[in-house]
Structure 1
Amino acid sequence: MKEPTKILGDERRAYILKRLQESSEPITGGELSAITNVSRQVIVGDITLLKAKNEPIIATSQGYLYMHASRPSAAERTIAVSHGPERTEEELLLLVDHGVTVKDVKIEHPVYGDLTASIMVSNRNEVKQFMEKIRATKASYLSELTDGIHLHTISAPTEKALDEAEETLRKEKLLIDLE
């Protein structure tokens, strides 16, 4: 039985880039590792090199995603929220139930300054996967470094959807009113 051939260096990175560009869904490092017959750590290095060449690749809780130019019709804004870790799933579900995509989470760290992490959840299933990954890895939330205060970049097809999502967060006492 012949072992699968490893795809080497530049050829592998070109292949990874093409796969990510053609996919509308995130692709995990494990999947890319299996396809190219290299370790997941090699894939992490490849992604880092592609990012260094200004390829718009982000790591989400569901895998790697190539960020195509966003549609100009989409509405986007940053919201400020505050809550403990126990309300994270509730917050994300409230947002996606309004047709909102939660793109990231940001905090202001006293030493490192602004820290941003990609979330990229748009529906209940993606929120479930995100929460399962947090639990499985026992990872901390960035917001735990700031007593629950954090920002999200959110987007939706319309401003109205964003307004309605914000109003729901306000009613649930999750939104920080900046007024």
Structure 2
Amino acid sequence: MKLTARERRNDMIRLLQKQKEAPISGSQLANHFSVSRQVVVQDMSLLKAGGHPVLATSQGYVWRGAPNNQQYERIVVCQHRPEESEQELTLLVDHGITVKDVMIEHPVYGELTGQLMVKSRKDVERFVSQMNSAQASYLSELTDGIHMHTLEADSEDDFDAAAKALEQAGFLVTSDS
């Protein structure tokens, strides 16, 4: 029995809500529902427009439901060369940090944000590999290396340790910089 579009989107919501460990790729969803990748993209856009907390990352789609009260969030400002991005991200995930996004302040467009959802060395390797294979430019290349990250951690101590490591590596921009 073929699902209606509404039934398919409802099933997509249930799948995303159940999936805790890793994003679900658009290709996986397309295969699961026997639809094209473009139908999945359209469904996800409709879900987002309908107020559902679906987040598209470089690894796939995740459900960003009600925030976990035990998670802390902080925004940091960093600056480095593009070739140091892997080092920066690895440093953060090694301190138990999830790098949710990267943001820049563009002089014409204003704030531009790219979703990352990087929380392990494997995620960092995948992200860097995707950037390299696509020959894509990092957002920070538009702003002389200056960019921001929204970070998530289990404790303020994790943030403090990560910030100290970023500072030691010369990546952290502070009010003293």
Structure 1 residue aligned with 2:68: 71
Structure 1 residue aligned with 2:163: 166
- Are 2:155 and 1:150 aligned? no
Aligned residue-pair number? 175
Could you tell me the TM-score, scaled by structure 2's length? 0.95
Matches within 5 A, 1:16-165: 16-24=12-20, 25-165=22-162
Task: Give 5+ residue unaligned stretches, structure 2.
Answer: none
Alignment-mate amino acid for residue 18 of structure 2: E
Describe the SS at the equivalent of 1:88: helix
Alignment-mate amino acid for residue 60 of structure 2: G
Structure 2 residue aligned with 1:11: 7
Alignment-mate amino acid for residue 8 of structure 1: T
Distance (whole Å) between structure 2 residues aligned to residue 154 and residue 44 of structure 1 = 26
Q: Is the 8 A contact 1:6 1:37 kept in 2?
A: no
Which range is displaced more, 56-65 or 6-15?
A: 6-15
Distance (whole Å) between structure 1 residues aligned to residue 31 and residue 81 of structure 2 = 38
- Displacement of 1:6 in angstroms is 5.2
Could you tell me the TM-score, scaled by structure 1's length? 0.94
Q: Is the 8 A contact 1:81 1:151 kept in 2?
A: yes
Alignment-mate amino acid for residue 75 of structure 2: T
Task: Give 5+ residue unaligned stretches, structure 1.
Answer: none
- How big is the alpha-carbon RMSD for the aligned residues of Structure 1 and Structure 2? 1.2
Distance (whole Å) between structure 1 residues aligned to residue 33 and residue 136 of structure 2 = 28
Describe the SS at the equivalent of 1:16: helix
Distance (whole Å) between structure 2 residues aligned to residue 159 and residue 153 of structure 1 = 14
Q: Structure 1 62/40 Cα, relative in aligned 2: closer, same or farther at 3 Å?
A: same
Distance (whole Å) between structure 2 residues aligned to residue 86 and residue 6 of structure 1 = 48
Distance (whole Å) between structure 2 residues aligned to residue 138 and residue 44 of structure 1 = 23
Distance (whole Å) between structure 1 residues aligned to residue 121 and residue 34 of structure 2 = 33
Percentage of pairs with the same residue: 47
Distance (whole Å) between structure 1 residues aligned to residue 58 and residue 116 of structure 2 = 6
- Displacement of 1:74 in angstroms is 1.8
Which range is displaced more, 38-47 or 10-19?
A: 10-19
Distance (whole Å) between structure 1 residues aligned to residue 108 and residue 8 of structure 2 = 37
Runs of 4 or more consecutive aligned structure 1 residues displaced over 6 Å after TM superposition = none
